[in-house]
């Protein structure tokens, strides 16, 4: 609350009455405002940071963005926004925006070149790599930060136009475990909930999730819940959400899977299972019940560090209420058994029949603004619309829909992000195209990433708003891209709601929208004819509709962007037959009829034995290193939010580490003293924050600082290939 207070004070100091007046103007007439404050243009756009998908009104005067207000009528944010949203326009005119392409000269210095030279270089260099080493020697890494239309064009261009086989996205770093869990369990990657469920639950269980900081507008929806809900947080750290909860369970790092299996055993042993639901709508219950038999209360207490009575109390609190919802984010997904842990949460919802009803669900909250869009339209791991590259029928459907020869569609899946980098290391992948993401900061075991791009990649292209990112600095060719606020398209938020992003200003200099860059590359490459129908984002949206027709994610009933704006966004599915019944309802959840997407319409119980942590503390590296979001004012690698002076004031400028007072005494470290954190991969210096948010033997650092991934351990979930950022072993030394 202190932060929000400080933020609103700063807004007032900087902008006087402007913000407040414009905020009021979003729901009333502009007639009361003096002329200098009147915008001459207002766009309604989904926010370009997190997956919550708030709608913002972007105001400009004489083509200069002047301010933001939050849409009061949009069913997601209901007039609210977090600091990132309020400051979203201020980062567009930063001095390190790319305005021209840059190409490395023979001395390795990036020099300004024309778009003609940039496009010619892009195509000739990648083509020559492919000619020498084959179509599997080039790959792209995309993002959940660009629109559905951009993602689809990139995926179609790279795979069907340029003949590439491998591409992945930074969504691998945040959502892959949830995707895999849903696909295997439900038969399709389908988060089942609607945000109204936050207000309709009797009990909300947050696992490895800190919505107060990471999804603050969703936390506001929890605060609107009139049922006086029980709020339970399962997290090793006393997060802001844990501090506000009715029950916090500070489990040992990565003991969550054991806890959930023990809970399942309690439900089964006490006959607290919704037997009708399990019998009629699921498979493999008996095998699951057999597996969890050995997860006794004592075993769970030993693994988690919780008391037996606490675990029993948790089970009873879930059992006693009729509308229980389970919510998870990166604390689960970014684990070496992330997929099975997500499925263990889903199993609890299935066991107790907490799915398909208001206030229930096994609900993964997504990270990036269009991570959900990338899951359907990036054409990386899945073929368009959640299809399978290895399925002949799926390939034929897509070929027919796009009017291309089926032979242009690869018959194998893309490698995952870490596997692409392994192939780089092995000398098999020699060309990389990175779009709107910053692995030089965000990739796990960062120094290895730098080693690879500096010594193993023959040609690195980086396409980004800013030429200054850690990744763009390494680029052989840098392509300047327009950002959010400067382009048109659609995003899909965590609750499957499609919404429109609209431009409010022009991109600077000669930077171009991602969509235009992809179109230009297609023409230069010689495959432009394949994309004549992909004229602009609006016409591409019509292609996306066709690609989803008949799929669980069918959006064929959405007429156009105007309909999306009019309806306050529309959740998928919304098919042509839905549309015949009139306007979409504002809030819709899945599985109300107990039918899932597997051919037999049943959900699966999926499970396996618990594996030991990949790098537990030992005598040399005695601390668990936890990482996560440190503030609602910063976004991931600070590529954009680091440009806002106001947001920068809302969090410490330099890396800090939280450590427990008992450990501080043992190591003779005082609050605000400098410490060195060392892992087997690297070391960083940080300011010590002595506080009991962490338990003894654990330290926490926020993910937004550039140095953080020098420390993290490159282990991966074996199903989703998602990196396990959350827990590794470090030592801590006072800097003398």
Residue number with CB closer to ligand SF4 (82 or 264): 82
Q: How far is the CB of 384 from ligand SF4 (least distance, A)?
A: 26
What number of residues does the chain have? 736
Q: How far is the CB of 81 from ligand SF4 (least distance, A)?
A: 4
| Secondary structure of 200-238 in HEC code, one letter for each residue | HCCEEEEECCCHHHHCHHHHHHHHCCCCCCEEEEECCCC
User: Does 330 interact with ligand SF4 (rule: CB under 6 A)?
Assistant: no
3-state helix, strand and coil shares in percent for the chain, rounded to the nearest 5? 40, 20, 45
Tell me how far, at minimum, the Cβ of 216 lies from ligand SF4, in Å.
6
By CB under 6 A, what part of segment 208-247 binds ligand SF4? 216-217
> For 626, which DSSP code?
E
Q: Which range, of 23-31, 48-56, 250-258, 571-579, touches ligand SF4 by CB under 6 A? A: 48-56
Nearer to ligand SF4, 277 or 484 (CB): 484
Q: Which of 7, 37, 42, 49 binds ligand SF4 (CB under 6 A)?
A: 49
Please report how close the Cβ of residue 50 comes to ligand SF4 at its closest, in angstroms: 3
Q: Which stretch binds ligand SF4 (CB under 6 A): 42-50, 234-242, 572-580, 669-677?
A: 42-50
Calpha distance 126→711 (Å, rounded): 33
Which residue of 57, 59, 84, 602 would you call a contact of ligand SF4, by CB under 6 A?
84
- Determine which residue in the list 39, 65, 75, 85 makes contact with ligand SF4, applying CB under 6 A: 85
Q: How far is the CB of 214 from ligand SF4 (least distance, A)?
A: 9
Choose one: 52-60, 193-201, 386-394, 654-662; the region binding ligand SF4 (CB under 6 A). 52-60
> How far is the C-alpha of 556 from the C-alpha of 575, rounded, in Å?
5
d(CA 173, CA 333): 9
Distance CA 144, CA 370 (A): 5
Q: Which is nearer to ligand SF4, 85 or 338 (CB)?
A: 85
Q: Are 374 and 142 in contact (CB under 8 A)?
A: yes
Under rule CB under 6 A, residue 68 binds ligand SF4: no
Q: Which of 11, 44, 82, 424 binds ligand SF4 (CB under 6 A)?
A: 82
699 scored as a contact of ligand SF4 (CB under 6 A): no
Q: How far is 29 from 678, CA to CA, in rounded Å?
A: 57
Residue that is written with structure tokens 């002329």 in the block = 35
Preceding omega of 573 cis (within 30 degrees of 0): yes
Of 53 and 155, nearer to ligand SF4 (C-beta) is: 53
Binding mask 472-511 for ligand SF4 (x = CB under 6 A): ----------------------------------------
State how far the Cα of 68 lies from the Cα of 70, in Å rounded to an integer.
7
Which range touches ligand SF4 (CB under 6 A), out of 2-10, 75-83, 125-133, 716-724? 75-83
Beta-strand pair 459-464/431-435: parallel
Eight-state DSSP code of residue 702: E
Residue 644 CB, shortest distance to ligand SF4, in Å, is: 12
Size, binding site for ligand SF4 by CB under 6 A: 13
User: Closest separation between CB of residue 375 and ligand SF4, Å?
Assistant: 18
Smallest separation (angstroms) from ligand SF4 to the CB of 148: 16
Edge-to-edge order in the sheet of strand 55-61 = 41-46, 55-61, 64-70
* Phi, psi of 179, deg, nearest 5: -60, -50
Q: Is 47 in the site for ligand SF4 (CB under 6 A)?
A: yes
Taking each helix axis as running N to C, give the angle between helix 285-292 and helix 256-269, from 0 to 180 degrees, rounded to the nearest 10: 110
Which C-beta is closer to ligand SF4: that of 144 or that of 385?
144
**Residue 59, interface with ligand SF4 (CB under 6 A)?**
no
Q: Of 44-52, 110-118, 292-300, 609-617, which segment contacts ligand SF4 by CB under 6 A? A: 44-52
Strands 570-571, 674-678: pairing kind: unpaired
State CA 710 to chain mean position distance: 21
Provide Rg for the chain, Cα atoms.
25
Q: Which is nearer to ligand SF4, 366 or 556 (CB)?
A: 366
Q: Does 181 bind ligand SF4 (CB under 6 A)?
A: no
> Which stretch, 33-41, 79-87, 347-355, 574-582, contacts ligand SF4 (CB under 6 A)?
79-87
**Could you tell me the smallest distance in angstroms from the CB atom of residue 47 to ligand SF4?**
3
Q: Which CB sits closer to ligand SF4, 164 or 328?
A: 328
44 is a site residue for ligand SF4 (CB under 6 A): no
Closest CA to 606 of 283, 198, 358: 283
We find the least distance from the C-beta atom of residue 105 to ligand SF4, in angstroms, to be 39
630 binds ligand SF4 (CB under 6 A): no
CB of 377 to ligand SF4, least distance (A): 20
Dihedral sign, CA of 713, 716, 722, 724?
negative
Q: In which residue are the tokens 């109390």 written?
A: 313
Neighbours of 72 (CB within 10 A): 16
E strands in 281-424: 282-283, 324-328, 361-364
Select the residue interacting with ligand SF4 from 26, 45, 52, 490 (CB under 6 A): 52
Q: 85 vs 385, which CB is nearer to ligand SF4?
A: 85
One of 66, 81, 102, 151 touching ligand SF4 (CB under 6 A): 81
Q: Could you tell me where the beta strands, DSSP code E, fall in 497-597? A: 497-501, 570-571
Stretch touching ligand SF4 by CB under 6 A, among 51-59, 329-337, 354-362, 422-430: 51-59
Rounded Cα distance, 332 and 612, in Å: 15
- Residue 485's φ and ψ, nearest 5 degrees, are 95, -10
Q: Which is nearer to ligand SF4, 53 or 617 (CB)?
A: 53
> Is 374 strand, coil or helix?
helix
Residue found by looking up tokens 């980004």 in the block: 464
Residue 50 found at the interface with ligand SF4 (CB under 6 A): yes
Give the separation between CA 387 and CA 397, rounded to whole angstroms.
Answer: 9
**477-480 β-sheet, strand order:** 110-112, 102-104, 477-480, 459-464, 431-435, 138-142, 166-169
Please identify the residue of the shown chain whose CB is closest to the bound ligand SF4.
85
CB of 370 to ligand SF4, least distance (A): 11
Q: Select the residue interacting with ligand SF4 from 11, 22, 44, 54 (CB under 6 A).
A: 54
Beta bridge pairs of residue 676? 685, 733
Residues that bind ligand SF4 (CB under 6 A): 47, 49-50, 52-54, 77, 81-82, 84-85, 216-217
């Amino acid at each position: 609350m202190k932060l929000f207070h400080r933020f609103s004070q700063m807004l007032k100091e900087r902008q006087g009455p402007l913000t407040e007046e414009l905020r009021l103007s979003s729901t009333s007439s502009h007639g009361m405002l003096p002329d200098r404050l009147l915008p001459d243009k207002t766009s309604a756009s989904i926010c370009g940071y997190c997956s919550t998908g708030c709608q913002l009104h972007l105001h400009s005067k004489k083509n200069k963005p002047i301010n933001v207000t939050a849409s009061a009528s949009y069913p997601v944010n209901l007039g609210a926004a977090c600091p990132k949203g309020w400051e979203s326009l201020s980062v567009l005119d930063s001095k390190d925006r790319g305005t021209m392409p840059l190409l490395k000269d023979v001395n390795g210095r990036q020099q300004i070149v024309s778009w003609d030279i940039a496009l010619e270089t892009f195509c000739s260099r990648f083509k020559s790599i492919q000619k020498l080493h084959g179509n599997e020697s080039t790959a792209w890494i995309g993002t959940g930060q660009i629109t559905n239309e951009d993602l689809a064009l990139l995926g179609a261009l790279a795979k069907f136009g340029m003949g590439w086989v491998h591409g992945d996205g930074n969504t691998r770093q945040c959502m892959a475990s949830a995707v895999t869990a849903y696909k295997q369990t439900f038969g399709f990657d389908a988060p089942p909930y609607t945000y109204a469920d936050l207000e309709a639950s009797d009990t909300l269980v947050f696992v490895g999730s800190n919505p107060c900081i990471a999804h603050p507008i969703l936390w506001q929806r929890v605060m609107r819940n009139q049922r006086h809900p029980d709020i339970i947080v399962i997290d090793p750290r006393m997060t802001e959400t844990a501090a506000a909860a009715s029950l916090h369970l500070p489990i040992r790092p990565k003991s969550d899977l054991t806890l959930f299996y023990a809970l399942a055993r309690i439900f089964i042993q006490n006959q607290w299972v919704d037997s009708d639901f399990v019998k009629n709508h699921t498979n493999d219950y008996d095998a699951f019940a057999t597996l969890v038999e050995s997860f006794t209360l004592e075993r769970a207490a030993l693994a988690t560090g919780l008391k037996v009575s606490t675990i029993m109390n948790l089970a009873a609190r879930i059992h006693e209420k009729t509308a229980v919802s389970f919510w998870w984010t990166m604390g689960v997904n970014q684990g070496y058994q992330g997929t099975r842990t997500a499925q263990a949460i889903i199993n609890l919802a299935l066991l107790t029949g907490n799915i398909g009803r208001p206030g229930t669900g096994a609900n993964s909250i997504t990270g990036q603004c269009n991570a959900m869009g990338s899951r359907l339209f990036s054409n990386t791991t899945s073929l368009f619309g959640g299809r399978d590259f290895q399925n002949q029928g799926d390939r034929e459907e897509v070929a027919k829909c796009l009017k291309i020869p089926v032979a242009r569609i690869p018959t194998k899946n893309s490698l995952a992000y870490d596997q692409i980098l392994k192939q780089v290391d092995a000398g098999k992948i020699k060309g990389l195209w990175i779009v709107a993401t910053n692995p030089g900061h965000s990739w796990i075991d960062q120094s290895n990433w730098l080693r690879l791009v500096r010594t193993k990649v023959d040609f690195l292209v980086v396409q980004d708003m800013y030429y200054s990112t850690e990744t763009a600095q390494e680029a052989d060719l840098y392509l300047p891209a327009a950002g959010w606020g400067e382009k048109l398209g659609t995003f899909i938020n965590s609750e499957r709601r499609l919404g429109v992003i609209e431009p409010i200003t022009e991109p600077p200099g000669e930077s171009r929208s991602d969509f235009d860059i992809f179109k230009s590359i297609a023409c230069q490459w010689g495959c432009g004819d394949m994309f004549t129908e992909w004229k602009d984002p609006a016409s591409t949206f019509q292609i996306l509709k066709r690609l989803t027709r008949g799929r669980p994610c069918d959006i064929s009933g959405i007429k156009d962007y105007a309909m999306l704006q009019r309806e306050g966004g529309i959740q998928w599915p919304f098919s042509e037959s839905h549309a015949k019944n009139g306007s979409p309802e504002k809030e819709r959840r899945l599985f109300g009829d107990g039918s899932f997407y597997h051919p037999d319409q049943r959900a699966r119980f999926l499970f396996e034995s618990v594996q030991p942590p990949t790098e537990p503390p030992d005598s040399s590296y005695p601390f668990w290193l936890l990482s996560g979001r440190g503030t609602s004012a910063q976004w991931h690698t600070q590529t954009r939010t680091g440009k806002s002076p106001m947001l920068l004031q809302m969090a410490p400028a330099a890396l800090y580490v939280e450590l427990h007072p008992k450990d501080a005494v043992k190591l003779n470290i005082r609050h605000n003293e400098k410490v060195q954190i060392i892992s087997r991969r690297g070391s960083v210096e940080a300011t010590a924050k002595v506080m009991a948010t962490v338990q003894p033997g654990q330290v926490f650092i926020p993910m937004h600082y550039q140095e953080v991934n020098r420390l993290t351990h490159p282990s991966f979930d074996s199903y989703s290939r998602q990196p396990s950022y959350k827990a590794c072993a470090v030592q801590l030394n006072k800097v003398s």
